[in-house]
Amino acid sequence: MRVVIVGGGIGGLAAAVALRAKGVHADVYEQAHRLSEVGAGFMLAPNSLRVLERLGLYDKVDRIGASITGFAVCDADGTEVSSLSLGGDDGYTMFGMHRADMVDLLVSSLPGDALHINHRCVAFRQDDDRAVVTFENGESAEGDVVVGADGIHSVLQQYVVEPRDPVFSGLTAYRGVMPAERVPDWPDGAVRFWNGGTKNLLVYPVRRGELLNFVAFTAADEQTRESWSAPGDPQRLAVDFGDGWDLLARKVVSQVDTTFRWGIYDRETLWQWSQGRLALLGDAAHSMLPYMGQGANQAIEDGMGLATLLEGVSTADVPHVLVRYQTLRRDRAARFQQGSRFNVELMAADKAPILGAPWMYDYDVEAEARTLR
């Protein structure tokens, strides 16, 4: 069996690693001329760390990530309203990761000939026996399965469902990283989330604690472009999180010299993820607001779930297996989408957002997938 994965982000790369670990040949086709990620972080949660451990990557994550030991939600003035201690009997914790480091880790886990850059998908076709992706450079790739891991602006999504326009949430995020030495009194392994209603600030360490990742959410006075690379104004950030905010929060924003402004858009939940030999994965299937910290984690779960279901099956059974993949993943991803929207409502009412819960972190996607084989 051959799987063609369109999209070389964290979801597509993780799917390729999982598929190859299950003995399924998988290649990744990425539109960019080189793999790169903006200077931003994300948190690997226990549910995706369980997947990475099964793929033999946990120790590598431990070496390049920043171990997270606690998560505190505070009011804007620093008063703690809820907290979550991390690290449990199973040995798992949470890691703050730089996106570029995670991409490098996954690429290094694949054979050199498994990644094809400068391949922008422009068309897709399939029949009963095969699926073919055509690229802008004139080349094409044929497979028994095609995985659309091509993100929030997915080209392949239109071959599964009718495209729907995203809806601007009214919120903008300022993102970036800075040397941790600029805030020397930052607590080791700490995540802090300050809730100011329509203004929120999330800060945590990445890259072995050498960097601090920050995400500052504000209400937008105009519709903001959905871009990870549009420059933001550090001075505006310092004003928005100045007077009345906790001293530690003000210390962080005062040290920002580079930031990217990202308009936050919501999308309707997709109830169909596959069509014939084509399946969607990651943001192409379930883009979500960033208020539960599960976007990349759910994409990693997708990859392991798909790989487990495809292991050892005949090519003739692929369309049926992809329907089972949809059954496995859709409702869980939708729960995170809804939870992220609910967290926005909670924070707007000056209430603490949902943090960790057993249904989030104790989930074993590989075990669940085996029940559907």
Q: Is 204 a catalytic residue?
A: yes
C-beta separation of 151 from 282 below 8 A = yes
Catalytic residue among 204, 291, 325, 361: 204
Active site residues: 204
